């Protein structure tokens, strides 16, 4: 394998070996602590524009299959691992991680001390980075790294036109407002008897009203929620309609902004399948899957509009909101991802009950 380098914005250089696609890539370097689920990680649209660092030392041992993708394509900017397995063993495997990266044009680097790299990001915070085979002009490279911006990632990952996923004998019709949804969100809704219409992030409030939905699902997605001003305004316009609403991750943040709350960037985010979340009503702690770099600021939501329902067990940041001005609730974590593995799947059932109660009037 060819020698490659991971160069951080602060000038730190890690030498390793290249795998996956050839070339150079820029992105925001973030780490995820998941011990498994690398295929779901690589196909999660929330990683758009980011260089993913896996803290687990061995990646690729069970290969890749086409059934577990969370999106058709990977939009990650790069991939960093300690060691990758080029001879996977699993009865469902149809390919290997190196071939996957090549197929999706993702530049990767391995033989990196990911423990030291992760500690550096934890100490200094998330920063831009590059994976390259050429560091001969380091000053020019660092300038390009510092000037890198993800841009408008939601516009990249959202569907471009409506998509329809219907079931036999549907109980409800749900609009999935797409900011970069993971497929398992739609699968959960279908499994629970919902017709699902996936709508682009540019969909207006009036266009959603014309679909006469029983409920609205706000999806996950990438980037800074404060940049999605049009979507925030659309959600604000929909509040008077009192449509039952359930938001996940970016959807959680956008609805909070629509209701007057504030968001802020975390030092290094929450990414992985082992994030503890405390239910403030029951006191129970759940193990959850998460992938986000921003959070809703605690106590920034007006008290007459809603209250924080879940907090992160590590840093106390907001992990959920229950609204009193509308039939709506949101969570920062991913209940569809089976972090526990089924700990918070009940939230989808709560959404179904919210729609049932709304129909009863």
Enumerate the active-site residues.
249, 334, 336
If we measure between CA atoms, which residue out of 302, 298, 154 comes closest to residue 225?
154
For 148, half-sphere exposure in the C-beta direction (CA atoms, 13 angstrom radius) is 22
CB proximity list for 341: less than 8 A, separation 6 or greater? none
β-pairing, 107-110 vs 78-80, is parallel
Cα separation, 255 vs 261, whole angstroms = 9
Beta strands in 142-251, from DSSP E residues, in sequence order: 163-165, 172-177, 194-199, 215-218, 245-248
Cα separation, 37 vs 47, whole angstroms = 14
Ordered DSSP codes for 24-40: -EEEEEEEE--SS-HHH
Cα separation, 210 vs 207, whole angstroms = 5
Q: Are 153 and 50 in contact (CB under 8 A)?
A: no
Q: What secondary structure letter does DSSP report for 95?
A: B
């Amino acid at each position: 394998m060819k020698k490659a380098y991971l160069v951080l914005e602060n000038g730190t250089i890690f030498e390793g070996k290249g795998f996956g696609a050839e070339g150079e890539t820029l992105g925001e370097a973030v780490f995820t602590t998941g011990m498994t689920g690398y295929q779901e990680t690589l196909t999660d649209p929330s990683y758009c524009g980011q260089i993913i660092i896996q803290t687990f030392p061995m990646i690729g041992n069970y290969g890749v299959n086409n059934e577990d993708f969370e999106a058709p394509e990977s939009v990650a900017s790069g991939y960093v691992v300690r060691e990758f397995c080029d001879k996977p063993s699993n009865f469902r495997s149809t390919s290997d991680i190196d071939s996957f990266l090549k197929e999706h044009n993702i530049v990767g680097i391995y033989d990196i001390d990911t423990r030291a790299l992760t500690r550096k990001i934890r100490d200094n915070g998330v920063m831009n980075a590059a994976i390259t085979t050429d560091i001969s002009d380091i000053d020019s490279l660092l300038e390009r790294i510092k000037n890198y911006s993800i841009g408008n990632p939601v516009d990249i990952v959202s569907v471009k036109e409506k998509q329809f996923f219907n079931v036999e004998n549907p109980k409800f019709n749900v609009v999935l407002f797409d900011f970069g949804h993971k497929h398992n969100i739609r699968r959960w809704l279908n499994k629970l008897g919902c017709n699902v219409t996936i709508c682009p992030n540019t969909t207006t409030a009036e266009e959603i009203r014309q679909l006469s939905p029983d409920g609205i699902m706000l999806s996950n997605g990438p980037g800074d929620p404060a940049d999605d001003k049009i979507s925030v305004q659309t959600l604000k316009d929909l509040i008077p309609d009192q449509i039952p609403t359930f938001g996940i991750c970016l959807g959680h943040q956008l609805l909070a902004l629509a209701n007057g709350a504030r968001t802020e960037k975390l030092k290094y985010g929450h990414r992985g399948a082992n994030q503890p979340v405390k239910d403030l009503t029951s006191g129970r702690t759940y193990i959850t899957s998460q992938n986000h770099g921003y959070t809703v600021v605690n106590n920034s939501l007006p008290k007459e509009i809603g209250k924080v329902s879940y907090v992160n067990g590590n840093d106390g940041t907001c992990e959920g909101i229950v609204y009193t001005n509308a039939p709506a609730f949101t969570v920062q974590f991913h209940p569809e991802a089976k972090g526990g593995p089924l700990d918070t799947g009940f939230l989808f059932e709560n959404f179904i009950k919210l729609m049932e109660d709304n129909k009863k009037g």
